[in-house]
Amino acid sequence: MRCLTSRLFKMLAATALVGMSLAPVSAQQTTLKIGYVDMRQLLDQAPQITLSREAIDREFRPRNDAIAADEERLQVLNRRLQEAGGDSLMLQNQIRDLQLSINRRREDLRQEILFRRNEAIQALEDDINSAVAAVARSDAYDLILSSPVIYANDRVDLTARVLQVLQQQQNADAQD
């Protein structure tokens, strides 16, 4: 309900701002320059996020490889159990214990990776907001909306420009 109220408020605010931009302020009309940024695209394509994903992948790859090795071992144990006719209680216990261990470690790994990705995104929020503000100031925008919006024409979509600014920031950071 809170999300719906928030979206409704954003839509009403945007509608009001557009309406105000069309109304004459004095003897002459002023227009409001509005832009749009697709935050989902920024979070998927920002070079800082790409580097962060690669670092997270490197960090967690050994644990993922260990799980994959145990999954192969589980397949071997399952084949041995089938060859034994399914009668080996010791093999059944090993398979059950290994399967539980794999499931627990896979879930722990998934949660840790998700946590780290969210940390990386939160750390990048200020950089994204700064890049959006820089583009808005340089092109004299009065208002920048972010996704989700119901509709945004391509001519008001500033996502590519913001990605350029983020790439420039990344290049500058890499040189330091």
Structure tokens of 37? 């940024």
Q: Is residue 48 part of a domain?
A: yes
5 pLDDT more than 90: no
Is 20 part of any domain? no
Q: Which two tokens stand for residue 146?
A: 């972010």
Report the SS3 class of residue 88. Answer: coil
130 in a domain, yes or no? Answer: yes
Question: In this structure, is residue 156 part of a structural domain?
Answer: yes
In a domain, 1, yes or no: no
When pLDDT is averaged across residues 40-58 and rounded to a whole number, the result is: 91
CATH code, domain with 118: 3.30.910.20
Residue at 6 is within a domain: no
Indicate the pTM of the whole model: 0.66
In a domain, 56, yes or no: yes
Residue 18 lies in a domain: no
- Number of domains, the chain: 1
E strands, 39-150, where?
143-146
CA distance 3 to 1: 5
Boundaries of domain holding 48 = 33-175
pLDDT tens digits, one per residue of 91-118 = 999 999 999 999 999 999 999 999 999 9
The answer to whether residues 128 and 10 touch, using CB atoms and an 8 Å cutoff, is no
